[in-house]
Structure 1
Amino acid sequence: MDEVKQLVQDINNRNIKPIYFLMGDEPYYIDKISDFIQDTVLSEEERGFNQVVLYGRDITIEDIVSNAKRYPMMAEYQVVIIKEAQDLSRTIEKLSTYVENPQPTTVLVINYKYKKIDKRKTLYKAINKVGVVYESKKLYENQVNDWIRRVLLSKDYTITTKAAQMLVEFLGTDLSKINNELEKLQIILPKGSQITPEAIEANIGISKDYNNFELRKAIGERNVVKAHQIINYFSENPKDNPIVVTVSLLFNFFSQLLHFHGLIDKSPRHVASVLRINPYFVNEYITAARNYPMKKVSTVVGILREFDVKSKGVGANSVPQSDLLKELLVRIL
């Protein structure tokens, strides 16, 4: 995020590079940076003649070079934005000839999502000399909670740890999806508000009591009654609570718990760092470790591998999701 802030600051200060190559597995910042350049470098009046957006599936490298070599009309720069440039992955290295001698009045923005160029090859080295290569990496789950907090703080909102975790459990680590839901909440709630589990439940539709976050906690505590209540809720609402997601999250939890058992230093700070979890949740792992010795955890990991296959229809095509969930819970507990 600091790298993005610096990039934005440089553009605002008119320290503009001729090439921005935006690549990586997390599309959120690629889109944000590209949109910022599109909205900032040229004035509204200049964009009509000096800004063009092209799509990788419709063009060749030669088309990019041809557009990039044009001169701006009555403006300091022209902006050429290539979206979905990963569709040109087989020929992208050919762009290095242009990069070695770029048009100084062109701002060429390459959106190269879900892929990376080889840092050992000519193109990457050439861009680094004259422009910017930004790699947008997927965040770990524990980093997403902090990202949510910082994004909301910048908009004059706060969020409880549980509410942030509910969003991550439900939406995964896709920043674009999470940001869309946060923007909905910002429309509904006044500035200065704290986003709570109740607000998430009322406005996004994620149950504050019956979700994978609460299921994991109940299983870790060996709270049989609560765990069965949640599983029954999942069985009645399968579209909102797919078994594939539940099994995956439980597998991650027990895999981390196995790692926890192997730690010599079990101080909260060390556990949070090694397991890459929010310190707020360390006590859950301490409790679960008491309830599940290492041998039992290993058994549960094996059970979850089995049910991961079954949840995808292998060897259990005719078994309803509700029955699979109930059988899984019984075998874990």
Structure 2
Amino acid sequence: MVKERTSNPVEVFRVLDTEIRAGRVHPVFLLYGEEEFFVRKSVDAIVAVLLDVSARAFNLDIMDGQDTDAATVLALVNAYPLMSERRIVVVYNIDRLADAARLSNYIAHPSPSTVLILSAEKPDFRRNPFLAMRKASSHVRLVEFRRLYVNEVPLWIVEYGKQLGLSLTSGAALRLQELVGDSPRDLASEIEKLSIFLGERRSASEVDIDEVIGLSRLYNSFELSRAIGVRDRRTAFIILERMLNSGEPPVKIVSILAKFYLTLLKIQDLLKQNYSDADIANRARIYPAAVREYRRYLQSFDTGAIQKGIRSLFEADLALKSSSADPRVVMTVLVHQLLR
């Protein structure tokens, strides 16, 4: 059984894609982990190589575990292909299939004419059907896609741009990450928009990123974090107001602010241990250029202020999820507390 546990998901995808193109096909695949973008990209790659477009109408079934049952899945995987050598059955979120354990016997003895592709975010390999997958090492391919680390994202942005024929500078990649975040799915969407905007011009700088993407994302959680970091009260409340007016979920705002505060705490501790900026970037999982910015923020934050901010964020998250309090009031009070 071949299994990647901690590799960069980009490299994991390349290995899997190479295997499929070389004809090394398993009757059962489990694609798992938090990086759904690469899970779905892998499914697309497997289908593209193994099944002609003309054969997909009769030999490709795609469903979600929470919307089906084991009996339906078993009927599909045991069906014979029609005018094709094989059929493919894809079940996303197999961990949400209520009676998924019923698939264990099939996993141990799969049909030679079917490729079953399953996905799960956090499979429990102590229980079936995941235990059965682990035991069936000769014919089950387990592939884990962890999240991209923050400092891996800019390189992925540049690489994804190349796939679209775009040349992005490192500064453009960092700016795009600042504006959009770390989600490959969201970033891919914005890079595709950028490609359309540029037309025949196939290179992009920070200026292009700001022109195409920055205006629509000027007021976001990352800019709010930055305003709080430099204690810019006026800008912070303007950004918060515009975000709430545009429908940004308050819980999402709190989550990103919490990540900002936890990173502050981590970097503060690393600075006390005299780590270099390069080591800090690696250990805190941020891009190197951001270390200097965090140093600037920490001029306004001692340990007590950071810990107090984390408590305020926890209380706001709890209030948003478990009370009838007005979300706008909760968020306004939160930002006021963070700026004290």
Q: Normalised by the size of structure 2, how large is the TM-score?
A: 0.79
Residue 261 of structure 2 corresponds to residue 254 of structure 1: yes
Consecutive unaligned residues of structure 1, counting only runs of 5 or more, are: none
Residue in 1 that maps onto 2:174: 161
Q: Shift of the alpha carbon at 1:282?
A: 0.3
Establish whether residue 235 from structure 1 lines up as the match of residue 241 from structure 2.
yes
Shift of 1:118: 1.5
Aligned residue for 2:112, secondary structure, equals coil
Deviation string, structure 1 residues 43-89 (Cα, Å, up to 9, x no partner): 2333344334455456543443343334434433222333453332x
Aligned residue number for residue 282 of structure 1 = 291
Paired amino acid for 2:100: I
Task: Report matched runs for 1:287-326 at 5 Å.
Answer: 287-309=296-318, 314=323, 317=326, 320=329, 323-324=332-333
CA distance in 2, matches of 1:97, 1:257: 49
Counterpart of 1:44 in structure 2: which amino acid?
A: V
**Over 6 Å off, 4+ runs:** none
How far apart, in 2, do the equivalents of 1:326 and 1:44 lie? Answer: 53
Identity of aligned residues (%): 25
Question: How many angstroms apart in 1 are the aligned matches of 2:67 and 2:256?
Answer: 39
SS in 2 for 1:79: strand
Residues 162 and 106 from structure 1, CA distance in 2 versus in 1: closer, same or farther, beyond 3 angstroms? same
* Unaligned residue ranges in structure 2 (runs of 5+): 1-9
The 8 Å contact of residues 309 and 337 in structure 2, kept in 1 or not, is answered as: no
The CA deviation at 1:313 is 8.0
1:82-117 CA distances to partner (integer Å, 9 max, x unpaired)?
3453332x432332222222222222222x343414
Q: Matched residue pairs, number?
A: 321
Structure 1 pair 236–321 and aligned structure 2 pair: CA distance change class (3 A): farther
Q: Pick which of 122-131 and 297-306 moved more.
A: 297-306
Aligned-partner SS, 2:105: helix
Amino acid at match of 1:239: N
TM-score with structure 1 setting the length: 0.80
Structure 2 residue identity aligned to 1:99: I
Q: 1:70 to 1:187 in 2, by over 3 A?
A: same
Paired position in structure 1 for 2:4? none
Of residues 99, 106, 109, the one that matches 2:107 is: 99
Matched, 1:134 2:140: no
